Structure 1
Amino acid sequence: MKQLAPNWEFVLDNVMGGVSSGCIAEEIVGGRNAIVLRGTVSLENNGGFIQMAFDLHEGGTDVDVSAWDGIEIDAYGDGGTYDVRLRTAQLSRPWQSFRADFVSEPHWQKVKIPFSSLVSHRVDAAFDPTCLRRIGVLAIGRERDACIAVSNFGFYSAN
Structure 2
Amino acid sequence: MSVLFAEQSLMETVFDDFSGDAAARWDFVADTVMGGVSSGHIEVVTSGPSKALRLCGDVSTRNNGGFVQARRRFSARWSAEATGVRLSVIGNGARYFVFLKTPHLSRVWHSYRAQFVAGDGWQAVDIPFSMFAPSHMGMPAMVAPSDVNSMAIVAYGDDYDADVTVREIRVY
TM-score, normalised to structure 1, is 0.89
The offset of 1:56, in angstroms, is 2.0
Give 1 or 2: higher strand fraction: 1
Root-mean-square deviation (CA, aligned residues, Å) is 1.6
- Deviations along 1:109-158, one digit per CA (max 9) or x if unpaired, are 001110111111114311112311100011011111110000111201xx
Once the two structures are aligned, what percentage of the paired residues are identical?
Answer: 36
- Quote the residue 1:103 is aligned against: 117
**Please, which of 149, 155, 158 is the counterpart of residue 171 of structure 2?**
155
**Please, which of 96, 102, 105 is the counterpart of residue 82 of structure 1?**
96
**Paired residue secondary structure (2:149):** strand
**Please, which of 65, 68, 89 is the counterpart of residue 47 of structure 1?**
65
The offset of 1:64, in angstroms, is 4.4
- Quote the residue 1:131 is aligned against: 147
**Please, which of 58, 74, 77 is the counterpart of residue 56 of structure 1?**
74
Answer whether contact 2:43 2:53 (CA < 8 A) is retained. yes
The offset of 1:65, in angstroms, is 3.0
- Deviations along 1:22-64, one digit per CA (max 9) or x if unpaired, are 000011246642110001011111111000010122xxxx734
TM-score, normalised to structure 2, is 0.83
**Paired residue secondary structure (1:15):** helix
Q: Distance in 1 between matches of 2:154 and 2:73?
A: 15
The offset of 1:95, in angstroms, is 1.7
Structure 1, unaligned runs of 5 or more: none
Structure 2, unaligned runs of 5 or more: 1-11, 17-21
